[in-house]
Amino acid sequence: MYICIVKLEQAIQSTKFKSEVQKAGLNILYTAWWLKTVMSRELKEFGLTHEQYNVLRILKGKHPELMCVKDIACRMIEKSSNVPRIIDRLEIKKLVKRATSEADKRETVISLTQSGVAVLEASTKALNAIYDEIMTISEEDASSINELLEKVRENES
């Protein structure tokens, strides 16, 4: 059973918004929370948190090449993630291994263990299934969202 509250108005019990733009801000925040909740519930079956999964997924992108902490950090969705600490938990679960870089001893290089690869593959399969199940929008609508969100972010000051 998933949390199913379609309308933002119902979700946050509020009907007055200053503008569509402000409502869009709340909608983005709420939808992200909803997505994270659904994904986390699935990942829990594999003993992973959302952030731990993200690190594994990033490592997989270069596997079997090693990656240093800062290269993982700059690929994280949430840039303020404390990557060394997330790696701590993954290391305890023997899903990744740490080593000091030969080339630059300041760097710690991380690699996926075989068990890390296995857990990642299984959890990715489960996540994809959940995505197919809950995100039933069309590719066209998804494209529109991607365009619009990049428009939202295209500002500096």
Partner DNA sequence: TTACAATACATGTATATACATGTATTAGTT
Partner DNA sequence: AACTAATACATGTATATACATGTATTGTAA
The residues of the shown chain that bind DNA, judged by CB under 7 A, are: 33, 36-37, 40-41, 44, 49, 51-52, 68-70, 73, 78-89, 98, 101, 104-109
d(Cα 21, Cα 97) in Å, to the nearest integer? 45
Q: For residues 52 and 123, which CB has a smaller minimum distance to DNA in the complex?
A: 52
In the chain, the amino acid numbered 11 is: A
- By CB under 8 A, residue 30 contacts its own copies: yes
Q: Enter the tokens of residue 117.
A: 């690869």
**Where is 27: in which H helix or E strand?**
helix 20-44
Rounding to the nearest 10 degrees, give the CA dihedral for residues 125, 83, 27, 47. Answer: 40
Q: Which of its own copies, DNA, none does residue 41 bind (CB under 5 to 8 Å by kind)?
A: DNA
Q: Which of its own copies, DNA, none does residue 25 bind (CB under 5 to 8 Å by kind)?
A: its own copies
Among 66, 68, 76, 126, binds its own copies (CB under 8 A): 76
Q: Enter the tokens of residue 125.
A: 């399969």
